[in-house]
């Protein structure tokens, strides 16, 4: 079909994202019942159509970004990284507060909210791919690594940390892996890890000496202690979310209860986002859960394949960093649902109910597809045209 000729890049990635998005419509529609009764008088279609509109917008952004030559994202990353700092600072100072965490800012006149950490995460990964490419011959110099790599990572992750520990930790891990692939010495990477641990211990010390100075630190500690010590046996209230997720998964069995037949959606906090995987397993069973995991693993494989086929260092690091970040987030979400990881607030990419996470995940996939256009997925002429040098100014 002529329409399909406009969609370039890895066809498997296109199909997996489309499939995950379509599956999310059924999962979200089933999991928003309680939310709809609480805020919309039981009208579930309000949230369903909102999610559908965001999916359409996400695919629009994916299409636009995949049509842009990927080398242009090198320069764009600089602008985005600079913009991230005031956005994160504003969010901490004046953002919408939920559970003692300021993660969103309101977009004037739209009634919508914007999670600035999603923007900053994309910006930092793109920037690291750029600087690791440009400084290939200089990253043996500690001063270069400190100023151009460690400092931006510390600033962005540090500004995300107070309100969103899990996002900061996931981004920090992704950055470490990119640094390793990019050729940064192991002793420098070890130094970054040591500084991060020291900073985290400092926060714990401040909270221990002056309780409630940093309310979110107490929440982190409680979640980790509950997970590691099995505190649910002593105080079930502390592990309510994890317990309800385990019940959903246990009662799903091998083939599940069937679409729309979840009962734990009435008890789980945020069943449409943080714990949507538990609802999927409850309704579609072990079979459905394994299929979702396989789709994400295939998406990771295709993303890594795109990165290894790129003949430019920037394309390799860009595609790998974005692919790993998305799938790592998805795996953490699913690990939380099956009680393999402490409770976090990470949504399941392309499955959880739409928001800025869905939109920025779509942009990330679009950039990966842009890289894949020069690896043989597009026309030979197009591949030749896009094999130019990276924009460095």
pLDDT in tens for each of the 393 residues of the chain? 666 677 888 899 999 999 999 999 999 999 998 888 888 888 888 889 999 999 999 999 999 999 999 999 999 999 999 999 999 998 888 766 655 556 777 766 656 678 899 999 999 999 999 999 998 888 888 888 888 999 999 999 988 988 788 899 999 999 999 999 998 999 999 988 988 888 878 877 776 777 666 666 666 666 666 666 655 555 555 677 888 888 999 998 888 898 888 898 888 888 898 899 999 999 999 999 999 999 999 999 999 999 999 888 999 999 999 999 999 999 999 998 888 888 787 899 999 987 888 999 999 999 999 999 877 644 433 434 433 344 443
The pLDDT of residue 230 is 59
Look at residue 233 in the predicted model and tell me its pLDDT: 52
Residue 18's pLDDT is what?
Answer: 95
Q: What is the pLDDT, as a whole number, of residue 392? A: 40
Q: What is the three-state SS of the chain? A: CCHHHHCCCCHHHHHHHHHHHHHHHHHHHHHCHHHHHHHCCCCCHHHHHHHHHHHHHHHHHHHHHHHCCCCHHHHHHHHHHHHHHHHHHHHHHHCEEECCEEEEEEECCCCEEEEHHHHHHHHHHHHHHHHHHHCCCCCCCHHHHHHHHHHHHHHHHHHHCCCCHHHHHHHHHHHHHHHHHCCCCHHHHHHHHHHHHHHHHHHHHHHHHCCCCCHHHHHHHHHHHHHHHCHHHCCHHHHHHHHHHHHHHHHHCCCCCCCCCCCHHHCCCCCCCCCHHHHHHHHHHHHHHHHHHHHHHHHHHHHHHHHHHCCCHHHHHHHHHHHHHHHHHHHHHHHHHCCCCCCCCCCCCCCCCCCHHHHHHHHHHHHHHHHHHHHHHCCHHHHHHCCCCCCCC
pTM of structure: 0.88
User: How much is the pLDDT for 237?
Assistant: 58
- pLDDT, residue 44, reads 84
> Which pLDDT score is estimated for 382?
41
Query: Given this model, what pLDDT does residue 267 score?
Result: 86
């Amino acid at each position: 079909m002529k329409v399909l000729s406009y969609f370039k890049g890895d066809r498997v990635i296109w199909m997996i994202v489309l499939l995950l998005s379509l599956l999310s419509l059924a999962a979200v529609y089933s999991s928003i019942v309680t939310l709809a009764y609480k805020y919309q008088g039981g009208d579930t279609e309000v949230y369903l159509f909102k999610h559908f509109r965001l999916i359409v917008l996400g695919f629009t952004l994916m299409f636009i970004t995949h049509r842009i030559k990927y080398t242009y994202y090198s320069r764009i990353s600089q602008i985005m990284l600079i913009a991230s700092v005031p956005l994160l600072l504003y969010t901490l100072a004046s953002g919408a507060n939920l559970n003692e965490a300021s993660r969103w800012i309101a977009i004037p006149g739209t009634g919508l909210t914007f999670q600035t950490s999603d923007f900053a995460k994309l910006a930092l990964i793109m920037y690291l791919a750029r600087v690791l490419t440009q400084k290939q011959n200089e990253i043996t110099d500690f001063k270069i690594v400190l100023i151009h790599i460690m400092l931006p990572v510390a600033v962005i992750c540090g500004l995300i940390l107070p309100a969103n520990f899990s996002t900061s930790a996931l981004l920090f891990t992704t950055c470490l892996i990119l640094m390793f692939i990019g050729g940064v010495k192991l002793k420098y990477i070890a130094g970054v890890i040591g500084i991060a641990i020291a900073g985290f211990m400092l926060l714990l010390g401040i909270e221990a000496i002056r309780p409630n100075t940093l309310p979110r630190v107490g929440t982190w500690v409680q979640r980790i202690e509950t997970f590691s010590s099995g505190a649910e046996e002593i105080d079930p209230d502390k592990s309510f979310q994890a317990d309800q997720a385990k019940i959903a998964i246990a009662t799903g069995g091998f083939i599940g209860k069937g679409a729309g037949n979840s009962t734990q959606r009435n008890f789980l906090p945020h069943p449409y986002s943080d714990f949507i995987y538990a609802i999927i397993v409850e309704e579609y069973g072990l079979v459905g859960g394994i299929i979702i995991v396989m789709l994400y693993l295939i998406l990771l494989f295709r993303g890594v394949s795109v990165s290894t086929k790129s003949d430019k260092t920037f394309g390799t690091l860009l595609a790998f960093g974005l692919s790993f970040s998305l799938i790592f987030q998805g795996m953490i979400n699913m690990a939380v649902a099956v009680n393999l990881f402490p409770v976090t607030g990470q949504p399941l990419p392309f499955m959880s109910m739409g928001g800025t996470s869905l939109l920025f995940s779509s942009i990330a996939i679009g950039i990966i597809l842009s890289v894949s256009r020069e690896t043989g997925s597009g026309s030979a002429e197009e591949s030749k045209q896009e094999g130019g040098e990276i924009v460095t100014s």
